Chains A and B, each alone.
Chain A
Amino acid sequence: MAYHSFLLEPISCHAWNKDRTQIALCPNNHEVHIYRKDGAKWSKVHELKEHNGQVTGIDWAPESNRLVTCGTDRNAYVWTLKGNAWKPTLVILRINRAARCVKWSPRENKFAVGSGSRLISICYFEQENDWWVCKHIKKPIRSTVLSLDWHPNNVLLAAGSCDFKCRIFSAYIKEVEERPSPTPWGSKMPFGELMFESSSSCGWVHSICFSASGARVAWVSHDSTLCLADASKRMAVTSLCTETLPLLAVTFITENSLVAAGHDCCPMLFTYEESQGVLTFGGKLDVPKQSSQRGLTARERFQNLDKKASSDTANATLDTLHKNSISQISVLAGGKANCSQFCTTGMDGGMSIWDVKSLESALKDLKIK
């Protein structure tokens, strides 16, 4: 596990480039900083200053090497690298509230922005006008869209929002792509069609993720639950009430295993048992080093008893790698089907890279299916 502390402020969002040598992140202000890996160090190579509000979402298209950023100033910018500088292009989203999340589609010909205006903007490039155009998906979203994820077919989009529901929409744009073939989620997919809507859990849906094949979608919500909908089981939803604080980010690492992290500051493994349609907790992935247990002096014992009414020798400091909530997880290597490395960033301003193979060998009863 490699941990690097970038800042003392939270990292609002991050995105990696294709070969994972550069990371773009927002240091909790209006800018985007791009760092490049120089051996074991990270050096800042670019500062992208265009937004007038905090940057809430960044996504880096691997093939076309374009960045898209969105912020609380209700704007999104598409950045292209010209020579040694990133040049922004404004995209008019036509929203009247902050943008919250942005994701390039798998084929990078469009991107989706979730916002506080209770709608999703799907933006694509119109060649004739040399301009990014956007279309809105409004119904039946009742609150801020917090998270988005694209299906591998480039058409379906999963959205998690603050009205406690996870929905899958069709974002089919006839100007940029051909008709999609039928999927387990449905066959008729006109733009804005609601393919799936989960029954209410009781918490804001913080993060949502399609599996590599697109047949499953998982989401985490603020009532400390992790839910999964399986299209091959007629969209049956299974949920797991976790014992932890609410999770903020989730991703698939194989077709059956998920890694999620949140306010407990450590990533956790969950497994989906397809035959029984059940989600189970697989274990915490952050194994703290065994700190030497120094014996408490009698004075300390009495002080503890006085202050905390317990003679417990438990540490008051966090043993995990991240010292504050983890807000985002991204897959670095192996894709969502066979992830071998993933990265977490959090509110402690740190970024940590986790290696799946070494986790498997370090934590003996960890089973990643």
Chain B
Amino acid sequence: GDALRAFHTAIRSSPANMKSQAMKEQAQGTMLKVLTSFKSSEIEQAVNSLDRNGVDLLMKYIYKGFEKPTENSSAILLQWHEKALAVGGLGSIVRVLTARKTV
């Protein structure tokens, strides 16, 4: 319910063109909080509710989250990664690697 709505809002308001590093870090922090607040069983449903661009964006955030691991973040992120991979395929990971505009 709430977590799902927060998730969609975070995805929609992500800084595609933001140049300020501080804002990007803030958005990343918010995204991480939302992602960790999900129960494992709800992750699949959340990923299925995204469109193709949303899945690509989610993958970018997941990899960004991997870069700076905190206490429990990696485990949750790996679960998100598995579900996002099932929907987005290897192509979504390739797009994370080739993207010129980072989140």
Contact = CB atoms under 8 A, between A and B. Distances in A.
Interface string A238-249: 000111111000
A202 B89 contact: no
Interface in A149-204: 200, 202-203
A222 B98 contact: yes
Nearest to A203: B98
Interface string B81-103: 00000001111101100111000
Nearest to A243: B89
Contacts of B89: 242-244
Nearest to B101: A202
A241 B90 contact: no
Q: Which of B90, B94, B99 has most A Cβ within 10 Å?
A: B94
A224 interface: yes
Majority SS at the chain A contact face = loop
A224 B90 contact: yes
Nearest to A244: B91
B103 to A, nearest CB: 14
A246 B100 contact: no
Nearest to B55: A241
Interface in A221-239: 222-225
Contacts of A241: 52-53, 56, 91-92, 95
Contact of A202 (B52, B53, B91, B95): B95
Interface in B8-64: 52-53, 56
Contacts of B53: 241
B98 A243 contact: no
A160 to B, nearest CB: 15
B90 A223 contact: no
Nearest to A247: B91
B88 A243 contact: yes
B89 to A, nearest CB: 3
A87 to B, nearest CB: 44
A243 B100 contact: no
Contacts of A224: 90-92, 94-95, 98
B50 to A, nearest CB: 13
Interface of B: 52-53, 56, 88-92, 94-95, 98-100
5 contacts: A202-B95, A222-B98, A225-B91, A243-B90, A246-B94
Which 4 interchain pairs have the tightest Cβ spacing?
A: A243-B89, A224-B91, A223-B98, A224-B94
Interface of A: 200, 202-203, 222-225, 241-246
